[in-house]
Chains A and B, each alone.
Chain A
Amino acid sequence: SAVISQKPSRDICQRGTSLTIQCQVDSQVTMMFWYRQQPGQSLTLIATANQGSEATYESGFVIDKFPISRPNLTFSTLTVSNMSPEDSSIYLCSIRTGRYSEAFFGQGTRLTVV
């Protein structure tokens, strides 16, 4: 399976600031996803970031708050903008080679907003 590297692994940020999370894959993949895992909760899909098209956001998530870039088939970034303590979560990137194929995840970014 592909190796997925996420940076940073954790960060503590001041409210009102923004953080950009990077996801690097060691092979080309079409489908890349960004998830959020709030404390004690399961994973919620933020958006799908397929190369060559605009990111598709799930209900409750907007581009102004979570802008995503997908410049090529091995890299994506998620920015958490104008952060508040409610944004404190683990953010994870995930890849799949096809709609029904096995999903793989990065190690996550643990974000704390103070």
Chain B
Amino acid sequence: KQEVTQIPAALSVPEGENLVLNCSFTDSAIYNLQWFRQDPGKGLTSLLLIQSSQREQTSGRLNASLDKSSGRSTLYIAASQPGDSATYLCAVNGGGSQGNLIFGKGTKLSVKP
């Protein structure tokens, strides 16, 4: 059974710092991995989708990497801003009849001005 773990559970950094969020999964047989952002009490905003054949994806200040064989992904945020404060979730698509997503519990990021 696929399990997704995100470490740390919470992270507080000063504005301007570069940071890395981690996501690990137990079954390397995935089709893709997606990173989301969730603001308190709200829905999820898709940040990046990495297909299993890809090593990394970039969008603005965000860079996500994927090492399928070791069951790891990282989300790198450059020059963090207070507006980046949110919970970041990763989810893996392990296939199946519907391509169900398995989510981690998230990393709650706080960027201090």
A and B part of one assembly: yes
Instruction: Name the residue of chain B whose CB is nearest to the CB of A1.
Output: B46
Instruction: Assess whether A22 is interfacial by the CB under 8 Å rule.
Output: no
- How many residues of chain B are within 8 Å of chain A by beta carbon? 26
Please give the residue numbers on chain A whose beta carbons come within 8 Å of chain B beta carbons, in ascending order: 1, 4, 6, 10, 31, 33, 41-45, 48, 56, 58, 90, 92, 94, 96, 98-100, 102-108, 110
Q: Are A100 and B43 in contact (CB under 8 A)?
A: no
Once A41-B105, A42-B104, A43-B89 are accepted as A-B contacts, the answer to whether A100 and B99 lie under 8 Å apart by CB is yes
**Bound form: Cα–Cα A56–B98 in Å:** 10
Q: Are B101 and A100 in contact (CB under 8 A)?
A: no
**Bound form: Cα–Cα A96–B103 in Å:** 16
Question: Which residues from 50 to 101 on chain B have a C-beta closer than 8 Å to any C-beta of chain A?
Answer: 51, 89, 91, 93, 95, 97-101
Once A41-B105, A103-B34 are accepted as A-B contacts, the answer to whether A110 and B98 lie under 8 Å apart by CB is no
Q: Are A99 and B99 in contact (CB under 8 A)?
A: yes
Q: Are B103 and A43 in contact (CB under 8 A)?
A: yes
Q: Which of B36, B42, B95, B98 contacts A31 (CB 8 A)?
A: B98
Q: Are A105 and B99 in contact (CB under 8 A)?
A: no
**Bound form: Cα–Cα A108–B84 in Å:** 20
Q: Which residues of A contact B42 (CB under 8 A)?
A: 107-108
Instruction: Name the residue of chain A whose CB is nearest to the CB of B6.
Output: A42
